[in-house]
């Protein structure tokens, strides 16, 4: 029977009860599924130590010797079993705190002891070591790299620990020897010098040496990333072949009038480059699907407006969809400000294009007026929230859809915008979250990418400082100085309610603290559990200058633009990821004044946390920060970008560290699809069959950006 057909419960050492746990915890139902649960580390069992050779607490050791004596110490929960173990020359203490009743130790018998040493009372000891009778161990097969597997608490409670997983894998080695159907062609294996699948699975679980393990990992990573890229690029090819785009070749009156008379400042080189890239897409016969990346304040909204004016010049309307009412209002105000004031500062009666706003707060009467103006083509640009996707919202000729912060919208929601015209409109996705290249090639792999990597001239870099919370008096003095200069201050907390376990200062205590420390100033508070109306009212008080200090959770991360706010204080900054800290920092530095971001942490920090703080202090470059965040945290959740955005689950490859393999895999996939977009040739049936096996989604969202 093929391993893909063999139910895991029939594998020796599993059975129905364990099979149910494996299914529930890991999604494992077959023997082949089990083989794709890869070790997360290996421990070298080839070396035997003498006790005198032990030097550090980070290295596992194994020692051959005998138990000289043992005794039970203490009573009740404090009871422990202590044994003196000798290798014939020196002694070490072995100690157990749990499961003492199950241990049957024998004096004078040779054992192999395995574990991680630690120092207690200036002497080495090993807590909860593994013990094996030497006479029962074949030292020739015992040597080598021992795999260790990730397990959940529920698995451990059912005795499915790493050791048990290893024993199950060992049972699968014999049926695996019969060979598995290859998932990569002989041509690919030869061209990239890859190990075959059967040997890879053997050597990933029980490698004969480090080189074999590394070659197995390389092959399995390549396979995983290759099929992700094959799926993504195939979707792009199909969409290009099946979806005709609206052609927008004209650069006409609206664009030119705005460019020559209304542009508030000179475009940066990056903005000009990005507009040219978008224009090239819009005037081709292909439907555009493009991702526009740019740090907070880099001028994405201005680029979006100029693209909307290109659409107007060609007889098309544009809609701009934002994730929150606050952000939709901000876009609306920014656009109307751009369009109603010319270069000389004169407010004009007749703007270049008509912009309107549609959100959940829009009244029924206003909606009726908007719907009529949309259908007769009077509205050129409609800014809004989820309200834009309602069936009642119909356009005369929607040609461009601009989506801000894509990861905050579901794919099904975005798909509704496609139905607003006969052909799907061009799609421009904007994000202020810098996305590392590996993520852009996977999570956003079906989108062309444009990057605004320059800030407008005149902006002063934000100065970032890291202090322990013992320096609070100094920081309070600094806050007072800044407010006296007419500035405003954000204070951000990670939680709404007190969490004693994590020992975080909660928002409400922080609000009380700020009001007590600064009785002469007005303080607002905003958090995600407030009603939208109340939250907006508090934000508007801060935006209009009625309050000087805004105490908030991360709801202000994407929020109102307050150029007068020049100080961002992040409490418990150690609880935030790098990308999130960078987003928060982007709330200040919007005006001409020098702005500051102060990261407050506890005194004692882990090595990784200190590294995060150092990176934030050292650079304002969002892309450097995003790359560092990916390296430190992995791709699980970078600012809402979930790994579940990938076509298939990653078992072994890492978007943080395997960028080079990803590049090679993408090139290989592209070459195959350039010659055979639908994988119809006989030599490509292998790939098509494997894609069908991997793909589990019922709806083909790949046709939608």
Instruction: Give the model's confidence band at 576: pLDDT under 50 very low, under 70 low, under 90 confident, else very high.
Output: confident
Show the domain range for 10: 1-46+152-178
The full 3-state SS of 607-666, as one line of letters, equals HHHHHHHHHHHHCCCHHHHHHHHHHHHCCCEECCEEHHHCCCCCCCCCCCCCHHHHHHHH
35 and 114 part of one domain:
no
| 313-327, 342-356, 562-576, 627-641: segment of lowest average pLDDT | 627-641
391 and 495 part of one domain:
no
Tally the domains of the chain. Answer: 4
Residue with tokens 């990670």: 494
Interval 255-260 mean pLDDT? 93
End-to-end CA distance of the chain: 41
420 and 509 part of one domain:
no
pLDDT at 672: 95
pLDDT at 499 over 70: no
- Enter the tokens of residue 620: 């304002």
Domain termination residue (choose one: 619, 646, 662):
619
3-class DSSP assignment, residue 418: helix
In the chain, pLDDT over 90 holds for what percent of residues?
49
103 and 130 part of one domain:
yes
393 and 498 part of one domain:
no
pLDDT at 190 over 90: yes
pLDDT at 640 over 50: no
The CATH number of the domain holding residue 470 is: 3.40.50.300
3-class DSSP assignment, residue 86: strand
pLDDT at 486: 92
Hey, what's the torsion of the CAs at 437, 441, 446, 450, to 10 degrees? 20
In this predicted model, which residue has the larger pLDDT, 567 or 44?
567
427 and 312 part of one domain:
yes
Distance of alpha carbon 143 from alpha carbon 328, whole angstroms: 63
- Does residue 681 fall inside a structural domain? no
Q: Say what the pTM is.
A: 0.69
pLDDT at 125 over 60: yes
pLDDT at 31 over 50: yes
Interval 77-102 mean pLDDT? 89
- Enter the tokens of residue 56: 């550090």
């Amino acid at each position: 029977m093929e391993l893909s057909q063999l139910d895991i419960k029939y594998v020796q050492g599993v059975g129905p009860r364990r099979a149910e746990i494996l299914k529930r915890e890991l999604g494992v139902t077959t023997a082949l599924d089990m083989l794709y649960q890869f070790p997360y580390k290996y421990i070298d069992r080839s070396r035997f130590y003498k006790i005198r050779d032990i030097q550090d607490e980070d290295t596992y050791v194994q020692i051959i010797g005998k138990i000289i004596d043992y005794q039970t110490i203490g009573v009740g929960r404090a009871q422990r079993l202590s044994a003196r173990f000798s290798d014939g020359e020196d002694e070490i203490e072995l100690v157990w705190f749990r499961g003492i009743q199950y241990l049957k130790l024998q004096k004078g018998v040779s054992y192999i002891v395995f574990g991680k040493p630690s120092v207690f009372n200036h002497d080495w000891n090993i807590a909860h070591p593994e013990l094996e009778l030497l006479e029962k161990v074949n030292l020739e097969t015992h040597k080598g790299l021992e795999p260790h597997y990730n397990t959940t608490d529920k698995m451990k409670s059912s005795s499915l620990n790493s050791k048990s997983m290893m024993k199950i894998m060992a049972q699968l080695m014999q049926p695996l020897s019969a060979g598995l159907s290859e998932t990569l062609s002989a041509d690919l294996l030869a061209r990239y010098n890859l190990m075959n699948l059967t040997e890879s699975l053997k050597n990933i679980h029980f490698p004969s040496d480090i080189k074999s393990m590394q070659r197995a990992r390389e092959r399995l990573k390549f396979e995983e990333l290759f099929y992700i890229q094959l799926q993504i690029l195939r979707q792009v090819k199909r969409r290009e072949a099946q979806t005709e785009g609206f052609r927008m070749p004209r650069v006409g009156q609206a664009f030119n009038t705005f460019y020559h008379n209304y542009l508030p400042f000179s475009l940066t080189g990056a903005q000009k480059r990005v507009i040219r890239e978008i224009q090239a897409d819009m005037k081709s016969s292909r439907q555009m699907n493009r991702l526009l990346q740019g740090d907070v304040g880099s001028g994405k909204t201005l680029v979006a407006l100029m693209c909307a004016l290109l659409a107007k010049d060609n007889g098309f309307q544009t809609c701009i969809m934002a994730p929150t009412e606050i952000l939709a209002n901000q876009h609306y105000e920014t656009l109307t400000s751009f369009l109603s004031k010319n270069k000389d500062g004169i407010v004009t009666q007749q703007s270049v294009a008509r912009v309107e706003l549609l959100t959940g707060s829009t009244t029924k009467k206003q909606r009726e007026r908007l719907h009529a103006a949309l259908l007769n083509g009077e509205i050129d640009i409609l800014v809004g929230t989820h309200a834009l996707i309602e069936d009642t919202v119909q356009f005369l000729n929607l040609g461009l859809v601009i989506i801000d912060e894509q990861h905050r919208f579901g794919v099904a929601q975005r798909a509704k915008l496609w139905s607003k015209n006969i052909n799907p409109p061009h799609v421009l996705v904007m994000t202020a979250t810098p996305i590392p290249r590996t993520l852009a090639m996977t999570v956003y792999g079906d989108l062309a990418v444009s990057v605004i990597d320059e800030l407008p001239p005149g902006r002063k870099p934000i100065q970032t400082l890291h202090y322990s919370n013992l320096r609070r008096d100094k920081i309070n003095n600094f806050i007072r100085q800044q407010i006296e200069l007419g500035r405003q201050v954000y204070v951000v907390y990670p939680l709404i309610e007190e969490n004693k376990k994590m020992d975080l200062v909660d928002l409400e205590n922080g609000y009380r603290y700020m009001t007590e420390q600064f009785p002469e100033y007005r303080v607002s508070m905003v958090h995600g559990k407030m009603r939208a109306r109340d939250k907006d009212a508090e934000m508007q008080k801060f935006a209009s200058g009625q309050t000087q200090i805004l105490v908030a959770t991360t709801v202000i991360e994407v929020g109102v633009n307050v150029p007068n706010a020049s100080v961002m204080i992040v409490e418990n900054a150690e609880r935030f990821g790098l990308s999130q800290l960078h987003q928060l920092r982007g709330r200040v530095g919007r005006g001409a004044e020098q702005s500051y971001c102060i990261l407050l942490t506890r005194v004692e920090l882990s090595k990784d946390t200190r590294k995060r703080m150092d990176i934030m202090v050292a650079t304002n470059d969002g892309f450097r920060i995003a790359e560092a965040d990916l390296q430190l945290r992995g791709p699980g959740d970078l600012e809402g970008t979930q790994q579940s955005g990938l076509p298939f689950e990653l078992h072994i490859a890492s978007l943080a560290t395997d960028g080079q393999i990803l590049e090679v895999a993408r090139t290989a996939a592209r070459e195959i699809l350039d010659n055979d977009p639908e994988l119809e040739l006989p030599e490509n049936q292998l790939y098509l069959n494997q894609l069908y096996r991997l793909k589990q989604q019922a709806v083909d969202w790949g046709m939608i950006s």
